[in-house]
Structure 1
C-alpha cells in the first residue's frame, strides 16, 4: 500500500536492517479503516536469539557501557535531533497504526517522548550521582574504612512494550536503558510495530554502536524467549496485569530483575466543593482519550452525592458532543479501538454491567454509520456499586462509571478498594483537604485539581498493588536500570 510517510519495515539487529530468517510476517492494519498499512517480518526464535547475543556482545565487549555519561548523553541528543526531524513521519504512522487523533499523535504519542529523551540527556545524566564517596568509618584495631558507591549499568535488557502508545512506551524504556549504559532488545506489540522499528533509524543516524539497541517483532513466543533467555539480565514490560504475571513468573527462574507497568482502574474523587467544569473535563478525557486505551486514565468518577446528578448531566452532555470517526479527519475527537477483539471485549463488559444492574446513561453501542473500523460510542454507567465487575475490571475502552459517596472517608475507601493503584485524582476547593485525601490514596500518582500541565519528566510513573513494579520517567526510570556497587579500602 502506498503511503504519504516513510517507515522501516525490517528488523534491526546488531546495527543492521534484516528481514530475519522466517517466512512469516505480521500484518499491520489501520484500526479505523481496516486497510493494510504494512507487512513486517515476524521474528523467528533464531532472530530473537541473535538480537540477544548481539546485545550481550555489545555490553560485554563494546564501548557503550564504558563511555562516560556525557559521551552517552551526546549520542542520545543526536537521536533526539533525528526524531525531531522525522516527527511528521512519526505522527503519520501513529495515526495510521494506533488510531490516534492528530492532537494526541502530535503530543503525548510523539513529541513528549522526544522531550523526555532531551531531559534525560540534558538534565538527568549530568546531575546524576554516578559515583559518590562513602563517609570514612573508623574500625577500631583495623584502620579507617573508606570507599565509593558506584552506579553501573544493569546489563542486557529485554524491553517489551504495548500497543496503545507505541513510540511513547518504547521510548520510556529505551531512554533509561541506554542512558544507564545498558544494551537492549526491544519488542513492540505485534499490532503496532512500525513506530518502534523506526527507532533503529534514529539509532543509526546518531551513531549508536552496533548491538546496543536491537528491535525484533513477535508475540507470545518471542516474549517468552526474551523473558527466559539466560543472557538477559533485566525485563521491562508494559501491558496487562494478566500477562505481567506471566512475565514475572518466566523471569523468576533465572532471577532477572523485572520492571512492570501494568493496568489501572483509576479513581477521581469529586468533592461537593469541587470545580465541576474541571472535574467533568477530566472525566471526559478519562473516557475518550485514545478511546479509553490508557492504563492511567481516570475511569471511576467518585462524586459527592450532593453534586452527583449535576455531574452526570454535564458529563453526559459532554460525551454527546464527542465526534467518533477516522482519526485522519481533523473533525474527529475520538478514534477507534485497536482491533475487533478489543472491541468485542469492551462490548462484553458493557453487557455484564447491564446484567449486574448498572444503568447506561450514554453510549453502549457501535456508532451508526461507521461500518468499517473498530469503533465504539463513549459510554457512561451510573447506578454502579464498587463491587460490580465494571467498577473493578479494566475496560481499556471508552467506558466510565460514576459512583456516589457521602463522606471523604467513604471516598478514600472506595478509591482504595481496587486491585490496582496506578493513578488517582482529587477535585476540591479546599486544597488542604484534597492533599490529605491524596496522601491516603494507594496509587503511584495523584493529581489535585487537574495537576500540572503535561507529562512531567521529573515525576515518577508507576503503580501500587497489581499496577506494577518499579518506576519510569526521569531519574526514577534511570535508577531501575542501574546496579549499585561498593568499592572500599582501608586507610592505614
Structure 2
C-alpha cells in the first residue's frame, strides 16, 4: 500500500534496523478503514534476547551510563530536534494506525511528548540533584562521618507501552530512562508499533550509542520474555490493570523494580454552584476524546441532584453534535476504536448496562452509514447506581455515566468507591470547598475547574489503588529510573 508518510517495518536492535528472526509478522490496520497499513516482524524470543543482550552490554560496557548528565542532555536535545523535523510523519502515522483525529494527533499524540523531552533535557537534568553531600555526623572517639548521596542509573529497562497513545506513552518511558543513564528495550503494542519504531530514526540522528535503545515488537510471548529476563533490572508497563498484575507477578520472581500505569474510572464532581458550561465540555471530552480510549479520561460524572437534569440535557445535546467518522476527514471530531475486538467489548458492556437497569439517553449503537471501521456512537447512561458494571468497569470506549449526589460527603464517597484512582475533577465556584474535596479524592491527579492548560511536564502522573505504581513525567518520572547510593568515609 502506497503511503504519504514514511516509517520503518524492521526491528531496531543494537543501533541498527534489522529483520526479525521469525518469519511471522504483525499486521497493522487502519482502524477507520480496516485497510492494511504495514506488516512488521513478530519478534521471536531470539530477537528479544538479542535486544536485551545489546542493552545489557551497552549498560555494562558502553559510555552512556558514564556520561555526564549534560552530555546525555545534549543527545536528547538532538533527538528532539529530529522529532520536530519529522512531526508530519509522526502525525500522519498516528492518524493512520491509532485512529486519532488530526487535532489530537498534532498535540497530545506527538508535539506534547517532544515538549516533555525538551523539558527533561533543558530544565530537569541541569537542576536535578545527581549528587548531594550528607550532613556530617560526629562520633566521639571515632571521628567525623561524612559522604555523598549519589543517584545512579537503575540498569536495563523493559519498556512496554499501550496502543492508544503510541508515541506519547513510549516517550514517557524512553525519556526518563535515557536521561537517567539507563539502557532500554522498548516494546510497543502490537496494534500500533509504527510510531515507536520511528524512534530508532531519531536515536540514529542524535548519535545515541548502539544498544542504548532497542525496539522490538510482539505480543504476550515477547512481553513475558522481557518481564522475566534475568538481565532486565526494571519493568515499566502501561496497559490494563489485569495485564499489569500479570506483569507484576512475572517480574517479582527476580525482584525487578516495576512501574505500572494502569486503568481508571475517573470521576468528575459537579457541585450545584459549578460552571455547567465548563463541566459539560469536560464531560464531553471524557467520553469522546480518542473515542474514550484514555486511562485518565473522566467517564463518571457525579452531579448535584439540583442541576442533574440540566447537565444531562446539555451533555446529550453536545454528544449529538459529535461527528463520528474517518479521522483523516477534517470534519470528523471522533474516530474509531482500535480494533473489532475492542468494539465488541464496548458493545457488550453497553448491553450489560441496559440489562442492569441503566438508561441510555444518547447513542448505544454503531453510527449509521459507517460500514467499515470500528466505530461506536458516543453513549451516555443515566439512572446509574455506582455499584453497576457501567460505573465500575473501564470501558476504554466512548461511554460515560451520570450519577446524582445530594451532598459533598456523598460525592466524595461515590468518587472513592472504585477499584481505581488515577484522575478526578471538581467543579465549583467555591474554590476553597473544591480544594477540600480534591484533597479527599483518592486519585493521583485532581483538577479544579478544568485545571491548567495542557499536559504539564512539571506534574506527576500516576495512580492510587489498581491504577498503578510509581509516577511518570518530569523529575518524578526520572526518579523512578534511579538508584540511591551512599558513599561515606571518616575524617580522622
**TM-score band (shorter)?**
over 0.9
TM-superposed deviation, 1:324: 0.1
TM-superposed deviation, 1:141: 1.8
1:371 equivalenced with 2:366 (yes/no):
no
TM-superposed deviation, 1:128: 0.1
TM-superposed deviation, 1:359: 0.1
Mapped to 2, the partners of 1:26 and 1:20 lie a distance apart of 11
Render the CA deviation track for 1:358-407: whole Å, top value 9, x for unaligned.
00000000000000000000000000000000000000000000000000
SS in 1 for 2:113: helix
TM-superposed deviation, 1:112: 0.1
User: 2:278 is matched with which residue?
Assistant: 278
1:352 equivalenced with 2:352 (yes/no):
yes
User: 2:318 is matched with which residue?
Assistant: 318
For structure 2, list consecutive stretches of 5 or more residues without a partner in the other structure: none
User: 1:424 is matched with which residue?
Assistant: 424
TM-superposed deviation, 1:142: 1.1
SS in 1 for 2:27: strand
TM-superposed deviation, 1:140: 1.8
1:152 equivalenced with 2:152 (yes/no):
yes
For structure 1, list consecutive stretches of 5 or more residues without a partner in the other structure: none
Normalising by structure 2, report the TM-score: 1.00
Mapped to 2, the partners of 1:365 and 1:21 lie a distance apart of 43
Mapped to 2, the partners of 1:438 and 1:245 lie a distance apart of 28
Normalising by structure 1, report the TM-score: 1.00
TM-superposed deviation, 1:246: 0.2
Render the CA deviation track for 1:186-218: whole Å, top value 9, x for unaligned.
000000000000000000000000000000000
Mapped to 2, the partners of 1:141 and 1:433 lie a distance apart of 57
SS in 2 for 1:135: coil
Render the CA deviation track for 1:452-487: whole Å, top value 9, x for unaligned.
000000000000000000000000000000000000
Render the CA deviation track for 1:259-291: whole Å, top value 9, x for unaligned.
000000000000000000000000000000000
TM-superposed deviation, 1:170: 0.1
TM-superposed deviation, 1:20: 1.5
SS in 2 for 1:326: coil
Computed over aligned residues only, the root mean square deviation of the Cα atoms, in angstroms, reads 0.3
SS in 2 for 1:251: helix
Render the CA deviation track for 1:327-368: whole Å, top value 9, x for unaligned.
000000000000000000000000000000000000000000
Mapped to 2, the partners of 1:281 and 1:441 lie a distance apart of 21
Runs (4+) off by over 2 Å:
none
Mapped to 1, the partners of 2:55 and 2:39 lie a distance apart of 26
Render the CA deviation track for 1:109-149: whole Å, top value 9, x for unaligned.
00000000000000000000000000100012211000000
Mapped to 1, the partners of 2:123 and 2:4 lie a distance apart of 36
TM-superposed deviation, 1:295: 0.0
Render the CA deviation track for 1:161-187: whole Å, top value 9, x for unaligned.
000000000000000000000000000
Mapped to 2, the partners of 1:21 and 1:65 lie a distance apart of 29
SS in 2 for 1:97: helix
Mapped to 2, the partners of 1:390 and 1:317 lie a distance apart of 21
Render the CA deviation track for 1:414-468: whole Å, top value 9, x for unaligned.
0000000000000000000000000000000000000000000000000000000
SS in 2 for 1:476: helix
TM-superposed deviation, 1:16: 1.0
